[in-house]
Structure 1
Amino acid sequence: MKRRKVGNLLGLAVLSAVVERPMHPYEMAAVLKQRGKDADLPIKWGSLYTVVANLEKHGFLEAVESVRDGGRPERTVYRITPAGHAEMEDWVGELVGTLDREPPRFKAGLSLMGVLGPDQTVSLLRQRAQDLEERAAEQRASLEQLRAVLPRVFLVEVEYDLAMTEAEARWVRGFLEELTSGTVPGVDAWRRWYETGEFPDDLGEFVEK
């Protein structure tokens, strides 16, 4: 991934909002929340003003005016610059076209699940499978509601989330079936190691394979 002058994904979200029209930070946050971008991006709202300041510092935004609404403090209105527009397109293009090398948390857990023991692993995976199916049901319902008001081109990230949830749920259910039916090699040795603390030869042979 390219090292960016403003690497916080909230910066990309801000650029995607102000590309439509100049906005002050409070309005940016309102637009992003209304569009559910905090569900799509790892946004920390407390850093919004810092991110906006950094975008201005590096020439991606520029202040155009200050406005006052009633008794509230003045708010600075920002617009996107040509450099900001180019940065936004390059950033989105990288996210869409480049594989992410950062492993997901679930993969990290799977790589170390041996420390839990098979019975605890089965219990946790059953809970995960149930949670995934509940999440998928919520995502389907949300997608159906959104389809009534938005064209598909604005819903592809919702479709993607649903597809990934369903795929993970299928994988977890399949792996659970293998664990509980005894078709995964080495489970008995894994259990003995977890219960006794002694690393058995058959588990060692399984790991080497």
Structure 2
Amino acid sequence: MVTMLHRRSTLALAVLSLLAEAEYLHQGSMHPYRMQRLLRDRGKDEVVNVGQRGSLYRTIDRLHRTGLIEARESGRDGNRPEHTPYSLSDEGRRVWREWMLDALATPTREYPEFPAAIAFIPLLDPDEVLGRLLERRRKLTDEVARIQSLMAESAEWGRLFALEMEYLNATTEAELHWVRSVIDDLESGAISWTPEQLAALASRHPQ
């Protein structure tokens, strides 16, 4: 049963995971600047929305206020919060494990914008939709190439450390395959609509 008191986010999970790593490696604690650097240097910002430095600090502040992490001896240089080291609390250690296991086991609905837009494409002109999907196909093709390049660069670390990139590659390729199929049907006329057809359909199914 996942604790509802503590709000989970990918960035919060990443922070707790880095502190769990510091504990695992007997380093004890880690300061925010190092967290942000590690997330970017390891390419974890591909799957974690690190955003600006303020996003990380707000997440750390929330985790601290809710008792999941603890501030250790001050390592600040003047008034620089990025040098304050943090470590997991007992509750943080428990919640981190709970979040990890639940995230691995439980699919979630994330409600991205793309399927929401797809749900309302009959309100647009078919040629306009086709043009935008052709643009999306091009961008997805470029993204697959970029991801596969990153995977090749990290191949020396072994599959264990590239699993998240494998997942991104699989999901991006799946979306690309689907977008191509919709484009094919739009171009062939298998998917088509006109305002008159939509009005007739609406008249048969009044709300």
**TM-score class normalised by the smaller sequence:** 0.7 to 0.9
Counterpart selection for 1:120 from 128, 131, 136: 128
Counterpart selection for 1:62 from 49, 70, 73: 70
Q: Residue in 2 aligned with 1:81?
A: 89
Counterpart selection for 2:143 from 135, 144, 148: 135
Does the residue aligned with 1:79 lie in a helix, a strand or coil? strand
Q: Residue in 2 aligned with 1:47?
A: 55
Check 1:205–1:178 CA distance in 2 against 1; reply closer, same or farther (3 A cut): farther
RMSD between aligned residues: 2.5
Does the residue aligned with 2:72 lie in a helix, a strand or coil? strand
Instruction: Find the structure with the greater CA-based Rg.
Output: 1
Percent of aligned positions that are identical: 33
Deviation of 1:39 after TM superposition, in Å, equals 1.9
C-alpha contact 1:6 1:54 (8 A) present in aligned 2: no
* Structure 1 residue 181 corresponds to structure 2 residue 188: yes
Counterpart selection for 1:105 from 113, 120, 127: 113
Return 5+ residue gaps in structure 1 as ranges.
Answer: none
C-alpha contact 1:19 1:80 (8 A) present in aligned 2: yes
Q: Residue in 2 aligned with 1:35?
A: 42
Does the residue aligned with 1:32 lie in a helix, a strand or coil? helix
Q: Residue in 1 aligned with 2:104?
A: 96
Does the residue aligned with 1:62 lie in a helix, a strand or coil? strand
Deviation of 1:76 after TM superposition, in Å, equals 1.9
1:117 & 1:3 partners in 2: Cα distance? 44
Q: Residue in 1 aligned with 2:158?
A: 151
Check 1:66–1:140 CA distance in 2 against 1; reply closer, same or farther (3 A cut): same
Q: Deviations over 1:136-162 (max 9, x none)?
A: 0111111011112x1211211100100
**Could you tell me which amino acid in structure 2 is paired with residue 159 of structure 1?**
E
Q: Deviations over 1:89-113 (max 9, x none)?
A: 1112222211212322111011001
**Could you tell me which amino acid in structure 1 is paired with residue 91 of structure 2?**
A
The alignment's TM-score, normalised by the length of structure 1, stands at 0.83
Deviation of 1:182 after TM superposition, in Å, equals 1.7
**Could you tell me which amino acid in structure 2 is paired with residue 17 of structure 1?**
L
Deviation of 1:72 after TM superposition, in Å, equals 7.2
C-alpha contact 1:23 1:78 (8 A) present in aligned 2: yes
C-alpha contact 2:12 2:60 (8 A) present in aligned 1: yes
C-alpha contact 2:36 2:50 (8 A) present in aligned 1: no
Q: Deviations over 1:121-145 (max 9, x none)?
A: 1111111111111110111111011
Check 1:81–1:181 CA distance in 2 against 1; reply closer, same or farther (3 A cut): same
